[in-house]
């Protein structure tokens, strides 16, 4: 395998030397270039492609945000990381749109290695070059206009608390993904990963959420994707129904609260790949949905045929770029084909998968976005038929509730 190409940018020579020293053991796997300015970085990038760029934020002439903005434009497939010592609100809102991940200085060398390694793995992954380039430029996902409006109204109330904001944000996949991206970034120096959107909002606090909403449209009610074959509202409704059903099933099965919340978040995010593909390639995605409908076949097969990947991989790729926790990525990546259960113990991937099939069917068979059939491993379990009835009741209730909201 060829070496990964990594570019480090920092105007302070001491910092660059420190990085160089710390990362010396990686020389076998990485080709590393260290430069002192944005201009030099762009010169290097013009000559050969880089998999990952790690840039300082405050630099004279061209700052990190300006540099990364240029990198998005010229080299969209490069994974962009910010390494900064100034974790202030202003800065977060400046680079949240252009950086995939943020790391705070001084940082633990092992953590830095792990983050860059992760980014390299993504950069070297299976996705086709064009799909990867397009996803590399995505800085937000379309948010449900109703939820967005509610959030703005809530922020206008002087007594609003993060709990109330969390309850709103956790109903929208795009805003939840963005919130999780921020809170899991090493900026905040959290020692654990956060998978629950509500918990993420509690960590960020009202002021940061306000900055995000008001600045630069980081959260934004985007124009609904125009598609001949479906309305984007269907994806939002389906996602929320699956989130609620997966959480309810996990609760029924006696899973601990943290895993119930993980099932919820996984359910909410499981189809973000559909939002990404449909908003980035509207015409091709029309072909996908039309083929799936005409053949009455699974959506993933039609996506594979047109893009060479399915929405499951695409969603997991973007959320991976954004640094979301590994177990959430796994739910998103595997929701159509969950891994075989270990013994009889249920896990959130299986819960989301089951909720996806049940909610898809409950929407009357017209739902494109539900998985078509249960995983064979699940079907073989002797207890499955007995439990299915109760699971179905929960899925039907969640689906009906979302339909009622519409």
Q: Copy the structure tokens of residue 399.
A: 């689906």
Closest CB 311 distance from Fe ion, rounded Å: 6
Q: Is 102 helix (H, G, I), strand (E, B) or coil?
A: strand
- C-alpha 238/C-alpha 402 separation (Å) is 8
Task: Tell me the window of 203-211, 250-258, 361-369, 391-399 that interacts with Fe ion (CB under 5 A).
Answer: 361-369
Nearest of 110, 179, 141, 109 to residue 323 by alpha carbon? 179
Whole-number Å distance between alpha carbons of 93 and 209: 10
Q: H helices of 253-347, where?
A: 257-269, 272-280, 282-295, 299-307, 311-321, 326-334
Smaller CB separation from Fe ion, 317 or 369 = 369
Stretch that binds Fe ion, among 134-142, 175-183, 191-199, 271-279 (CB under 5 A): 271-279
Out of 369, 374, 375, 391, the only residue in the binding site for Fe ion (CB under 5 A) is: 369
Stretch that binds Fe ion, among 49-57, 196-204, 212-220, 263-271 (CB under 5 A): 263-271
DSSP label of 188: G
Q: Which is nearer to Fe ion, 194 or 316 (CB)?
A: 316
Which residues face 34 on adjacent strands?
A: 8
Distance of closest approach, residue 405 Cβ to Fe ion, in angstroms: 18
Residue 317 binds Fe ion, judged by CB under 5 A:
no
Site membership for Fe ion, residue 356 (CB under 5 A): yes
Question: Is residue 230 part of the contact set for Fe ion (CB under 5 A)?
Answer: no
Residues from 134 through 173 that contact Fe ion (CB under 5 A): none
Q: Which residue intervals of 215-256 are DSSP H helices? A: 232-252
Q: Which is nearer to Fe ion, 140 or 311 (CB)?
A: 311
**E strand or H helix at 72:** helix 64-74
Residue 171: CB minimum distance to Fe ion, A: 16
Nearer to Fe ion, 144 or 356 (CB): 356
239/242 Cα distance (integer angstroms): 5
| Nearest distance, CB of residue 299 and Fe ion, angstroms | 7
75: left (phi over 0), alpha (psi -120 to 50) or beta: beta
Contact 182, 188 (CB under 8 A): yes
The structure tokens 């252009």 sit at: 98
CB of 368 to Fe ion, least distance (A): 9
Residue 77 DSSP code: T
Residues 337/316, Cβ–Cβ less than 8 Å? no
Gap between the Cα atoms of 201 and 203, Å rounded: 5
Number of chain positions touching Fe ion (CB under 5 A):
3
CA distance 115 to 99: 13
- Give whichever of 307 and 369 is closer to Fe ion, judged by the CB atom: 369
Choices 62-70, 97-105, 124-132, 350-358 (CB under 5 A): range interacting with Fe ion: 350-358
Q: Which stretch binds Fe ion (CB under 5 A): 54-62, 144-152, 185-193, 363-371?
A: 363-371
Nearer to Fe ion, 237 or 259 (CB): 237
404 Cβ contact partners less than 8 Å away, ≥ 6 residues apart? none
347 binds Fe ion (CB under 5 A): no
Closest CB 182 distance from Fe ion, rounded Å: 25
Q: Which is nearer to Fe ion, 11 or 356 (CB)?
A: 356
**Is the Cβ of residue 271 or residue 347 nearer to Fe ion in the bound state?**
271
Among 58, 57, 38, 50, which residue's Cα sits nearest to residue 102?
57
Query: Least separation, in Å, of the C-beta of 367 and Fe ion?
Result: 8
Q: Per CB under 5 A, does 271 bind Fe ion?
A: yes
* Closest distance to Fe ion from the beta carbon of 100 (Å): 23
Please check whether residue 368 is in contact with residue 377, taking contact to mean a CB–CB distance below 8 angstroms. Answer: no
CB 371, min distance to Fe ion, A: 6
- Other CB atoms closer than 10 Å to residue 252's CB: what's the count? 15
Give the binding site for Fe ion (CB under 5 A): 271, 356, 369
């Amino acid at each position: 395998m060829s070496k990964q190409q990594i570019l480090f940018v920092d105007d302070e020579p001491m910092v660059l030397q420190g990085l160089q020293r710390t990362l010396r053991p990686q020389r076998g796997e990485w080709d590393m270039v260290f430069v002192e300015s944005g201009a030099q970085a762009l010169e290097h990038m013009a000559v050969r492609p880089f998999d990952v760029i790690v840039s300082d934020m405050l630099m004279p002439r061209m700052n990190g945000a300006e540099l990364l903005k240029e990198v998005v434009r010229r080299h969209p497939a490069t994974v962009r990381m910010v390494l900064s010592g100034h974790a202030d609100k202003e800065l977060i809102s400046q680079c949240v749109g252009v950086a995939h991940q943020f790391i705070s200085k001084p940082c633990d060398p092992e953590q830095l290695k792990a983050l860059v390694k992760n980014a390299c793995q993504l950069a070297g992954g299976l996705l086709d070059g064009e799909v990867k380039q397009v996803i590399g430029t995505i800085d937000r996902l379309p948010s449900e206009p109703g939820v967005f409006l509610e959030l703005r109204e809530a922020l206008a109330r002087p007594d609003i608390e993060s709990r109330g904001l969390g309850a709103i944000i956790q109903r929208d996949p795009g805003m939840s993904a963005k919130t999780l991206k921020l809170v899991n970034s090493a900026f905040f120096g959290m020692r654990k990963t956060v998978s629950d959107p509500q918990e993420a909002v509690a960590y960020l606090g009202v002021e940061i959420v306000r900055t995000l909403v008001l600045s630069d449209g980081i959260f934004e009610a985007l124009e609904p994707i125009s598609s001949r074959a479906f309305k984007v509202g269907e994806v939002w409704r389906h996602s929320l129904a699956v989130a609620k059903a997966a959480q309810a099933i996990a609760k029924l099965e006696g899973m601990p609260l943290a895993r119930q919340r993980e099932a919820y978040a996984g359910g909410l995010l499981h189809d973000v790949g559909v939002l990404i593909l449909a908003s980035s390639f509207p015409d091709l995605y029309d072909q996908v949905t039309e083929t799936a409908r005409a053949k009455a076949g699974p959506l993933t097969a039609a996506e594979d045929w047109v893009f060479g990947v399915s929405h499951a991989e695409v969603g997991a790729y973007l959320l991976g770029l954004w640094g979301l926790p590994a177990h959430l990525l796994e739910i998103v990546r595997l929701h159509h084909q969950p891994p075989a259960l270990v013994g009889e113990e249920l896990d959130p991937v299986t819960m989301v998968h089951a909720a996806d099939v049940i909610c898809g069917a409950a929407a009357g068979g017209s739902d494109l976005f539900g998985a078509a059939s249960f995983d064979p491993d699940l079907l073989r379990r002797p207890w499955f038929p007995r439990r299915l009835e109760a699971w179905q009741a929960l899925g039907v209730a969640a689906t009906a509730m979302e339909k009622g909201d519409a």
